[in-house]
Structure 1
Amino acid sequence: MTIGTAVRHAEVPATPAALRYASGPGVRGKADVVFARRQGRTALASLFQHDPLRVLFPTPPSGELTSAILVTTSGGLVGGDEIAVRIAAGEGTAVLASPQAAEKIYRSAGADCRIDMRLHAGPDAWLEWLPQETIVFDGARLRRLTVIEAAPGARVLAGEMLALGRAAMGERLRAGLLRDTWEVRKDGRLRWADALHIEGDMAGVLNHPAGLGGAVACATAVYVGDDAAARLAAARALLEETGEGVRCAATVVNGVLVARFLAAEGAALRRAYGAFWAGFRREVAGLPARLPRLWHI
């Protein structure tokens, strides 16, 4: 099922070419969500969605942001599937976007699964992309690209969490492909690029002290804003409270604050990551130090 544009305004940017996939095997899910400021508040300006992606807009609690919740109705992705998401927060808007639940990447017979995530924040906008886990099954092949584009005065808090195998089943990654790539552009210039690429002997890389040191879950949080460098001390103070079983650190590169997490147990990483996120959004934007209720389900 395809749902076309709900509202269209002349200033809404066109859907980027990255969201237009060619036909082929596997599903081709798309979600293009644009927010604009209308009568002093953030409102939906444009929506396009195509199965297996759906976007929900729950009424936020008092004091919270306008929200967009992404749902993958297929229950997971297999080799050959491709999904593309763009969340665009227009000038002066404040938006929280998040997946409804963890994303599953199933074992592949050979083809890659591709996820293209685009986050665009207009001038003086606040945009949060709060992740849930991406659970990578043994034998899965995942290529994911996350691109942040921040205009002057914009602030973006975004992240991703990876569960490396199904821990409840004792599964560890032995073979497959995991490539997780980030690109951050601010004021039209590339400020930070990063890629995690593991292929072939995945267990060897994940267990090696120079690799992930035996971690079964990892996560990244990225903050883009004019005040990123000034927020580093606060980020590190929050990370000191993560507790046992989680290794974490934060730095600033070219005006982009990056926090990393590694853990030997997925639940411990989720608790630490959620606590950091809640505290950091309060510190930076004066927002409530809490996460959406669905994040706790």
Structure 2
Amino acid sequence: MRPAREGDVPTGSSDVSGRTHPPLPNPSPTGGEGLQAGWSARLKLRFEATTLAGASRTVLRERSHVGPLRVLKPLYPEGDAVCHAVLVHPPGGIVEGDSLSVEVKVDAGASALITTPGAQKWYRSSGRTASAETHLTVADGASLEWLPQEAMAYDGARAQQRFTIALAPTARFFGWEMLCLGRTTRGERFASGEFRQGIRLVRAGSDAPLWRESMHLVGNDPLLTSPLGLRGLPVMATAWIALGDVADGGGTDAVLAKVRDALAGEPLAAASAPDEGLIVVKAIGDAPEAVRNLLIAVWKSIRLQVFAREPQLPRIWST
């Protein structure tokens, strides 16, 4: 049986939103009874640029969900131009058989910042794989800042994650993905299990992706402790900065210099510009907080130049 979790909703009942959930099937690998199917949850968001009293405003024009995946009330801590949204997964973790899908679209001229209140937890599996897919689309003249907290893969988790970023030619983007292998506060290692990840970043009109990577880690993989791999460190992260039409102050080279200044003194982090208008940051570390703070420092260093806004941390991080 799938273990009960905080926030579980009895089958055939309604959750806090009033949405009715049909009973879940109970298939087993052999076709019999006794193994409960995982949850399938989907969330779709669309941000639109409008005008209010002569000023630009971004609104969350569309939001739809199926299953336990939500977005909190849109927030405007830095004015109407930027809409802040917080994605929440009420169960608090992903178990074997679960399937999550998030689709975000930012229309032309709109600006959105999206984060999460806590880590995404991949729980131990008895054999089946859980999956999550994220697809972000940003139109011309629009901007998206994707700042989720880390994904944490428990020892024994079996997970598959796909992440796609589709950008129009003048779209601006800053985002990161962080992975923590094991519960570091308990001294847990990723001794068994499997984690697969595929990442793809594309610009409209390009024949090839600007960035593409894939990863397949298994428990006790030599790569986890190799000096050419993770060096025994449990946290890894990638961040992307897509400049769009930003050209003031030297363009890509100037922004890359700011990023490298923010990374100065960090021997396990580096930044490069694999293509004009794109900067990629890679980092590893011994604790998610340290790596997250490093990426936040990078974001703060470039926000004014790339997004024409002073950095302001999401409020949810302070609660």
Q: Which TM bucket (shorter chain)? A: 0.7 to 0.9
Rg larger for: 2
Q: Is residue 247 from structure 1 mapped to residue 275 from structure 2 by the alignment?
A: no
**2:202 alignment counterpart:** 185
Structure-2 separation of matches of 1:100 and 1:267: 14
- Report how far residue 278 of structure 1 moved: 2.2
| Unmatched 5+ stretches in structure 2 | 1-13, 19-25, 28-36
Distance 1:232 1:296, change over 3 A: same
- Report how far residue 286 of structure 1 moved: 2.5
Structure-1 separation of matches of 2:262 and 2:312: 14
Q: Is residue 266 from structure 1 mapped to residue 283 from structure 2 by the alignment?
A: no
**What one-letter code is carried by the residue in structure 2 that aligns with 1:159?**
W
Contact 1:238 1:280 in 2 (8 A): no
Length-normalised TM-score, structure 2:
0.80
**What one-letter code is carried by the residue in structure 1 that aligns with 2:48?**
A
Specify which structure has the higher proportion of strand.
1
Equivalent residues in 2 for 1:186-225 (5 A)? 186-189=203-206, 190-202=209-221, 204-225=222-243
- Report how far residue 296 of structure 1 moved: 4.0
Q: Is residue 45 from structure 1 mapped to residue 61 from structure 2 by the alignment?
A: yes
**What one-letter code is carried by the residue in structure 2 that aligns with 1:195?**
S
**2:144 alignment counterpart:** 127
**What one-letter code is carried by the residue in structure 1 that aligns with 2:42?**
K
Q: What SS does the aligned partner of 2:210 have?
A: strand
**1:150 alignment counterpart:** 167
- Report how far residue 200 of structure 1 moved: 4.7
**2:260 alignment counterpart:** 236
Instruction: Give the count of matched residue pairs.
Output: 275
**What one-letter code is carried by the residue in structure 1 that aligns with 2:312?**
R
1:199-247 C-alpha deviation (Å, 9 max, x unpaired): 2533x2211111111111111111123357332122111111xx56x61
Q: Is residue 167 from structure 1 mapped to residue 184 from structure 2 by the alignment?
A: yes
- Report how far residue 248 of structure 1 moved: 0.5
Structure-2 separation of matches of 1:200 and 1:217: 14
Moved over 3 A (4+): 1-4
- Report how far residue 59 of structure 1 moved: 2.5
| Unmatched 5+ stretches in structure 1 | 5-22
Length-normalised TM-score, structure 1:
0.86
Q: Which moved more, 1:39-48 or 1:219-228?
A: 219-228
**2:102 alignment counterpart:** 85
User: Which of residues 94, 103, 113 is equivalent to 2:130?
Assistant: 113
